[in-house]
Homo-oligomer: A and B are copies of this chain.
Amino acid sequence: MDDLAVQRGERILFSKLSARVVAGEAVALTGANGAGKTTLLRVVAGLTAPLAGTVRFEGVRGDLPNDDARREACHLVGHQDGLKGARAAGAELEFQVLWTGGDRASAEHAAARMGLTRLLNLPVRVLSAGQRRRLALARLIASPRALWLLDEPLSPLDAESRRLFGQIMGEHLARGGLILAAVHDPLPIPARQIRVGA
């Protein structure tokens, strides 16, 4: 599946930004604080309406309407991870995975891959920042979707987890996946860089 994103004039943040991301490609969005990286990711995910311009998803499933294609194609992991502090980590992961189209076995496998197996019974609230981010990232592996929209995915991770997640991103790209990541530090994989904002 490949992917064309055209996007212009989102508020006063940035305008006439156009880009095309193709299968197997990773793009690192950089830019100063407040430049609009997070906003751009939300626009691509269809959560925020752009002032002008469109985001088009052109894939093998070209028959689907754009919005359905988007819903089936995107994973968004940001600071707001949607995990409920009071529920068990395992239950939350399972819901997120099932909801985005995976199954129970893949959720377990993803948790193991992310080194979370021991923590699945704990309430999300007691997890450390890095453990929690790993839990949020686990659904990327567990339910396969083509486009990963990541907002500063690596920052709370320790060195070991960063290496691991770099490897996971590499595998995703090798399978023909796409990654759009807002970052301040370079990604551990080769990525085209797009600067957002002035």
Contacts and interface: CB of A to CB of B under 8 A. Distances in A.
Given A155-B152, A185-B185, A129 B161 contact: no
Given A33-B134, A134-B33, A156 B161 contact: no
Copies in the complex: 2
Given A155-B152, A155-B155, A185-B185, A129 B33 contact: yes
Interface string A115-128: 00001000000011
Interface string A1-42: 000000000000000000000000000000111110110000
Interface residues of A, number: 26
A31 B31 CA distance: 29
Given A155-B156, A156-B152, A156-B155, A131 B34 contact: yes
B156 A184 contact: yes
A127 to B, nearest CB: 7
Interface string A156-198: 1111110000000000000000000000110000000000000
